[in-house]
Amino acid sequence: MENKEKARILAIDYGAKRVGLAITDPLRIFAYPLMTLKRDKNFWNDLEQVFKNYDIETIVLGYPLKEDGTRSSSTELIEKFKKELEKKKSIKIILVDERYSSSIAKERILESVPSKKKRRDKKLVDMNAAAVFLQDYLEMNE
């Protein structure tokens, strides 16, 4: 029982250059932006460190669809990443629609980050976009 309360859900906003991460609180009520990782030679080690630091029970992976719900140019990239992640981790991975998450994240950043320089930081958008679709997932699965 104790362990169940500590298990969290990790959201991944996977991109060609950067990967935004968000995580739930231990009770899985709120989603928080965690960090943005670079897609470089250290990526898998950096991601593994996140798994060492948190008890991750489920991964919510942003699935990019077009406005009409059909596959986008990034859909294949996400599916390939999901397969690679499944080989490395035996954790449930759920694909969730991430349409509009970046737009919503940008709006939230505009409202909450006073510094124009900080608002232009794309890493901030990536991890906040992950938090947006993670919070949506939490609310739909209450």
Q: Which residues sit opposite 25 in a β-bridge? A: none
Confidence (pLDDT) at 92: 94
Confidence (pLDDT) at 114: 62
Q: State how far the Cα of 74 lies from the Cα of 31, in Å rounded to an integer.
A: 24
Alpha helices (H) in 8-74, listed in sequence order: 43-53
* Model pTM above 0.85: no
Domain ranges in the chain are 2-140
Judge whether residue 68 has pLDDT over 70. yes
Which own/partner contact pairs does 101-110 have at CB distance under 8 Å and 24+ positions apart? 101/13, 101/62, 101/129, 101/130, 101/132, 101/133, 101/136, 102/129, 104/129, 104/132, 105/129, 105/131, 105/132, 108/132
Q: Give me the DSSP letters along 72-122.
A: -TTHHHHHHHHHHHHHH--SEEEEEE-TTHHHHHHHHHHHH---HHHHT-H
Confidence (pLDDT) at 2: 44
**CATH number among 3.90.226.10, 3.40.50.970, 3.40.50.10300, 3.30.420.140, domain 2-140:** 3.30.420.140
Distance between terminal CA atoms of the chain? 19
Judge whether residue 60 has pLDDT over 80. yes
Whole-number average pLDDT of the chain: 85
Judge whether residue 1 has pLDDT over 50. no
Q: State how far the Cα of 92 lies from the Cα of 126, in Å rounded to an integer.
A: 22
